[in-house]
């Protein structure tokens, strides 16, 4: 009597143990996790809002099952503090066992996570941060945003041909600002222009007033500006309030300053500002019109900016890598499948350079104009297939 009971119990226990182990393992096997670490609050919150919305839109449009796997997005708020980014990425790798890390609102966040990506062989899809060197920080980094050298050089070619001979540069004092300063200023000088002064403003809680006063005194033909997404409206406001434009000083910059997330609220003082960048919500392609419409419908009329397009395309790169590795790829296979991807984005044709894992794309010159009562960056010239000039050492 004893034996059968205990055998039954043992069998039942064994079956339960197997089921208990197998169930989560199988569920785990069928899920493909993307850990999206973004600044959802704090100074860079618009970047997080834009990228999360774009990633969700991509999934709504393309389904959440790829190569037999259920794609799961895990969004974490790093408040744009790199120590937080690193801690959250570590948890996502160890506890959640994510297949891919993505997001990275600012350069210090991307650089903080790169060593973890290398150690754990986890692809790190950088959707926002834009300092040239980030792709060199780990062989697991793939970038879908842009680089500041890529955006700046086109403007330094345009400016001297358009009456701008002398400039002062004003940049945020960290990676992307230093890249913008270096590449814009060198190219200006190379083109026969003159850089009167290179000013750097703190990245956190910047006060632009004393810097703009200095620029007024120096009276260059133009002020070249780089500030990260979200800070452009403050610069534009103070530039107008100080009557810099009336003093004959033009404002030019990378498109971060006339960010589509804020542009429409900047007021008419911003009309005529020329910038260079890889994405405008006014980009006149069918695909972009559909993208902007769908994004606005899904997000209470919020206009997508260049961060959104980095997030949207980053999801495409991940989905295609998952598809082409038939759901069986580990980190190395996924990165290999991300390299060389070429496709039409809402910004135009882009590809992921197989050598550098960085994005190659068209850079547009744009001018702020009013269309149907709204302010837009209207493209008027294009430089095709621009590779990151920061890589050519
Ligand atoms: C960056 O930190 O790399 C960064 C952030 C915002 C931008 C551009 C670059 O608009």
- Output the CA 259–ligand 1 centroid distance in Å: 12
Q: Whose CA is nearest to atom 7 of ligand 1?
A: 228
Question: How far is Cα 23 from Cα 149, in angstroms, rounded to an integer?
Answer: 49
- Per the CB < 8 A criterion, the answer to whether 131 and 148 are in contact is yes
Given the CA of residue 47, which atom of ligand 1 is nearest to it?
Answer: 6
- Output the CA 356–ligand 1 centroid distance in Å: 19
- Output the CA 357–ligand 1 centroid distance in Å: 18
Given the CA of residue 227, which atom of ligand 1 is nearest to it?
Answer: 10
Given the CA of residue 306, which atom of ligand 1 is nearest to it?
Answer: 10
Half-sphere exposure of 122 (CA within 13 A, CB side): 27
Please tell me if the CB atom of residue 106 comes closer than 6 angstroms to any atom of ligand 1. Answer: yes
Question: How far is Cα 272 from Cα 17, in angstroms, rounded to an integer?
Answer: 69
Please tell me if the CB atom of residue 228 comes closer than 6 angstroms to any atom of ligand 1. Answer: yes
| Positions in the chain whose pLDDT score sits under 50 | 1-6, 8-27
Q: What is the predicted pLDDT for the residue at 17?
A: 44
- Per the CB < 8 A criterion, the answer to whether 170 and 215 are in contact is yes
- Per the CB < 8 A criterion, the answer to whether 383 and 362 are in contact is yes
Please tell me if the CB atom of residue 108 comes closer than 6 angstroms to any atom of ligand 1. Answer: no
- Output the CA 128–ligand 1 centroid distance in Å: 6
- Output the CA 13–ligand 1 centroid distance in Å: 55
Tokens 């169930």, residue located: 23
Please tell me if the CB atom of residue 345 comes closer than 6 angstroms to any atom of ligand 1. Answer: no
Helix (H, G, I), strand (E, B) or coil at 147: coil
How far is residue 352 from each of residues 129, 176, 305, measured CA to CA in Å? Answer: 16, 20, 20
Q: What secondary structure does DSSP assign to 235-279, as a single string?
A: HHHHHHHTTTTTTT-EEEEETTTT-TTTGGGS-GGGTT-EEEES-
- Output the CA 100–ligand 1 centroid distance in Å: 21
Half-sphere exposure of 250 (CA within 13 A, CB side): 19
Please tell me if the CB atom of residue 310 comes closer than 6 angstroms to any atom of ligand 1. Answer: no
Sheet holding 65-66, edge to edge: 65-66, 69-77, 31-38, 100-103, 124-126, 141-143
Please tell me if the CB atom of residue 256 comes closer than 6 angstroms to any atom of ligand 1. Answer: yes
Please tell me if the CB atom of residue 203 comes closer than 6 angstroms to any atom of ligand 1. Answer: no
Question: How far is Cα 126 from Cα 85, in angstroms, rounded to an integer?
Answer: 13
Q: Whose CA is nearest to atom 8 of ligand 1?
A: 228
Please tell me if the CB atom of residue 130 comes closer than 6 angstroms to any atom of ligand 1. Answer: yes
The encoded tokens of residue 118 equal 């290398």
- Per the CB < 8 A criterion, the answer to whether 262 and 233 are in contact is yes
> What angle in degrees, to the nearest 10, is found between the helix axes of 45-62 and 306-324?
40
Phi, psi for residue 236 in degrees, rounded to 5: -60, -40
- Output the CA 69–ligand 1 centroid distance in Å: 32
pLDDT digits (tens, 9 = 90+) for 93-140: 999 999 999 999 999 999 999 999 999 999 999 999 999 999 999 999
Q: What residues have CB less than 8 Å from 48, skipping those under 6 apart?
A: 38, 39, 40, 41, 77, 103, 105
Q: pTM above the 0.85 mark?
A: yes
Question: How far is Cα 131 from Cα 174, in angstroms, rounded to an integer?
Answer: 9
- Output the CA 46–ligand 1 centroid distance in Å: 12
Q: What residues have CB less than 8 Å from 342, skipping those under 6 apart?
A: 349, 350, 351, 352
Choose which residue among 130, 145, 257 to substitute to test ligand 1 binding: the one with the highest number of ligand atoms within 8 A of its C-beta.
130
- Output the CA 228–ligand 1 centroid distance in Å: 5
Given the CA of residue 108, which atom of ligand 1 is nearest to it?
Answer: 2
Please tell me if the CB atom of residue 129 comes closer than 6 angstroms to any atom of ligand 1. Answer: yes
Q: What secondary structure does DSSP assign to 60-117, as a single string?
A: HHH-SEETTEEEEEEEEE-TT-HHHHHHHHHHHHHTS--SEEEE--SHHHHHHHHHHH
Q: What is the predicted pLDDT for the residue at 392?
A: 62
Question: How far is Cα 64 from Cα 306, in angstroms, rounded to an integer?
Answer: 24
Q: What is the predicted pLDDT for the residue at 29?
A: 77
- Output the CA 134–ligand 1 centroid distance in Å: 12
The domains of the chain, with CATH numbers, are 31-146+285-357 (3.40.50.2300), 149-277+364-386 (3.40.50.2300)
Helix (H, G, I), strand (E, B) or coil at 349: strand
Q: Which of 292, 275, 293 is nearest to 378 (CA)?
A: 275
């Amino acid at each position: 009597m004893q034996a059968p009971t205990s055998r039954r119990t043992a069998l039942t226990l064994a079956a339960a143990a197997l089921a208990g182990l197998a169930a989560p393992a199988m569920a785990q096997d069928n899920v493909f996790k993307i850990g999206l670490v973004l600044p959802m609050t704090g100074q860079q919150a618009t970047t997080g809002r834009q990228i999360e919305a774009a990633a969700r839109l991509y999934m709504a449009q393309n389904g959440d099952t790829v190569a037999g796997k259920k794609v799961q997005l895990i969004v974490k708020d790093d408040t744009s503090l790199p120590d937080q980014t690193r801690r959250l990425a570590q948890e996502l790798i160890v506890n959640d066992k994510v297949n891919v890390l993505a997001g990275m609102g600012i350069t210090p966040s991307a650089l903080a996570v790169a060593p973890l990506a290398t150690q754990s062989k986890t692809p790190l899809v950088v959707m926002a941060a834009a300092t040239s060197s980030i792709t060199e920080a780990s062989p697991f980094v793939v970038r879908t945003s842009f680089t500041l050298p890529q955006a700046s050089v086109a403007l330094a070619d345009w400016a001297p041909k358009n009456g701008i001979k002398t400039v002062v540069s004003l940049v945020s004092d960290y990676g992307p600002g230093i890249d913008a300063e270096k590449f814009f200023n060198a190219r200006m000088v190379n083109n026969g222009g003159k850089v009167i002064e290179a000013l750097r403003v703190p990245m956190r809680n910047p006060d632009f007033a004393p810097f703009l006063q200095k620029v007024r005194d120096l009276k260059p033909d133009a002020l070249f500006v780089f500030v990260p997404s979200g800070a452009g409206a403050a610069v534009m406001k103070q530039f107008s309030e100080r009557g810099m434009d009336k003093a004959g000083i033009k404002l030019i910059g990378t498109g971060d300053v006339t960010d589509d997330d804020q542009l429409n609220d900047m007021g008419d003082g911003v009309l005529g500002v020329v910038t260079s960048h890889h994405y405008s919500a006014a980009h006149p392609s069918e695909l972009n019109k559909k993208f902007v419409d769908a994004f606005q419908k899904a997000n209470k009329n919020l206009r997508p900016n260049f961060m959104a397009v980095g997030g949207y395309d980053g999801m495409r790169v991940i989905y295609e890598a998952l598809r082409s590795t038939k759901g069986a790829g580990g980190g190395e296979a996924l990165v290999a499948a991300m390299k060389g991807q070429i496709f039409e984005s809402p910004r135009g044709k882009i590809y992921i350079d197989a050598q550098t894992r960085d994005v190659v794309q068209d850079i547009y010159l744009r001018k702020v104009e009013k269309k149907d009562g709204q302010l837009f960056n209207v493209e008027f010239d294009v430089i095709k297939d621009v590779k990151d000039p920061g890589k050519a050492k």
